[in-house]
């Protein structure tokens, strides 16, 4: 998730507002929004590099110390919303990776993604606080990676889960029998999936194979979509829940190329991104674009679209991206942008953040129009307060 809520908490109780037909349906058939590396909205640059990192990364962190950790921080933080903000926005599945701090006395457990995050107990308390005031909301806590943890650490963490959530923990059952009605009747609000043998003797710790999360491990959007469609189609035979990881994973060369900018800024289009003119091949209306979607990130400096063909453009990042659609254009050369712009085909949309109904671009009757969303957005620096026709 890359966008911040605007104070509208309409998603905070979305499960409790579902119709009876859905609350009686097996929960595995509902599309439940989740977040990736859900805890990574804060990492500790002062702590040692995490045990989830390779030896050469730890070595570089030792040599370059704070500089290396500042770079790691930019690539480790994949969220900017706290647990409470994610819950209020509608997130109900949480991807959790945990670790002890080697050499630290006691059995404290922390969230981990390259660098250490908050204590797990603090995060669980935040989630429990939300559940206490939203009695019909249910969360999936997927503890899928454990680092530097022995049996004592696992016992400590499992006890912590029981202490924090108590009667809210749903006991293992047949997946097909788990409905919202069933959970409400039993006052269950938390399903914990524990991907380690230490949880096998605890009836409240669902085994990891009941929450498979196949990973495409690609930077190619076309391959990602094909992978998601294939794995989603195969889920029925496993009798489990299923995670569709709609994420692109940066390669080493990706990180090296954007080393200093970090993940968020790297995903913004580069200044030398090739600019072309929209030139359809015939006088017929174009069909669906064959090129993959462009994923643009709101950076505070605006959103830039430069394209050679019609695209579905995702504003934001992650599973809750919002789309604007540049509809197919008819034959002819279409210039998008101001006449006096340095590059006529260059569109820059600036706004305070991405909302549920953001600006959209339409092509109707040969007229290209930008429809406003009601927020303080601008086109090439000019405020968009009413439908604005672009040059054609």
Catalytic residues: 36, 113
* CA separation, residue 112 to residues 53, 141, 246 (Å): 10, 15, 21
Report the C-alpha gap between 97 and 142 in whole angstroms: 8
Q: Specify which residues 99 forms β-bridges with.
A: 110, 147
**Contact indicator for 320, 1 with CB cutoff of 8 Å:** yes
DSSP secondary structure, 116-159, as one string: EEEEHHHHHHHHHHHHHH-TT--EEEEEEEEES--HHHHHHHHH
Q: What is the DSSP letter of 243?
A: -
DSSP secondary structure, 346-391, as one string: -EEEE-SS--TT--EEEEETTEEEEEP-SSS-EETTEE--S-EEPP
- CB proximity list for 31: less than 8 A, separation 6 or greater: none
Report the C-alpha gap between 384 and 371 in whole angstroms: 8
Q: Specify which residues 95 forms β-bridges with.
A: 142
Q: Which of 258, 229, 154, 137 is nearest to 191 (CA)?
A: 137
Kindly give the pairing relationship between strand 110-113 and strand 93-99.
antiparallel
Max CA distance (Å), the chain: 72
């Amino acid at each position: 998730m890359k966008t911040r809520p605007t104070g509208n908490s309409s998603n905070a109780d979305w499960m409790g507002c579902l119709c009876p037909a859905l609350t009686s349906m097996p929960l595995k058939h509902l599309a439940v929004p989740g977040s990736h590396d859900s805890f990574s909205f804060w990492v500790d640059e002062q702590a040692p590099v995490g045990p989830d990192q390779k030896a050469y990364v730890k070595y570089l962190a030792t040599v370059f110390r704070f500089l290396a950790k500042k770079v790691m921080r930019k690539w480790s933080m994949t969220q900017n919303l706290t647990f409470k903000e994610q819950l209020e926005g509608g997130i109900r599945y949480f991807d959790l990776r945990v670790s002890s701090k080697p050499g630290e006395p006691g059995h404290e457990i922390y969230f981990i993604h390259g660098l250490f995050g908050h204590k797990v107990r603090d995060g669980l308390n935040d989630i429990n606080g939300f559940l206490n005031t939203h009695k019909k909301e249910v969360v999936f806590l997927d503890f899928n990676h454990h680092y530097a943890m022995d049996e004592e650490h696992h016992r400590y963490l499992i006890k912590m889960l029981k202490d924090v959530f108590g009667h809210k923990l749903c006991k293992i059952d047949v997946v097909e029998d788990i409905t919202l009605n069933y959970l409400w009747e039993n006052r269950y609000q938390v399903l914990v999936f524990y991907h380690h043998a230490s949880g096998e003797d605890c009836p409240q710790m669902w085994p990891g194979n009941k929450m498979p999360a196949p990973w495409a491990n690609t930077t190619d959007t076309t391959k990602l979509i094909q992978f998601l469609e294939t794995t989603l189609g195969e889920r029925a035979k496993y009798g489990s829940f299923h995670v569709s990881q709609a994420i692109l994973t940066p390669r080493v060369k990706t990180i090296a190329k954007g080393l200093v900018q970090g993940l968020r800024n790297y995903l913004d289009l580069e200044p030398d991104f090739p600019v072309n003119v929209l030139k359809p091949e015939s006088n017929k209306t174009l069909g669906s674009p064959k090129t993959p979607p462009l994923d643009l990130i709101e950076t505070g400096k605006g959103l830039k679209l430069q394209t050679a063909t019609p695209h579905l453009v995702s504003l934001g990042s992650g599973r809750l991206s919002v789309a604007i659609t540049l509809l197919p254009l008819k034959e002819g050369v279409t210039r998008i942008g101001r006449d006096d712009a340095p590059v006529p085909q260059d569109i820059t949309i600036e706004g305070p953040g991405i909302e549920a109904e953001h600006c959209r671009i339409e092509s109707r009757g040969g007229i290209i129009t930008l429809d406003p969303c009601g927020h303080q957005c601008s086109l090439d620096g000019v405020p968009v307060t009413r439908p604005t026709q672009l040059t054609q």
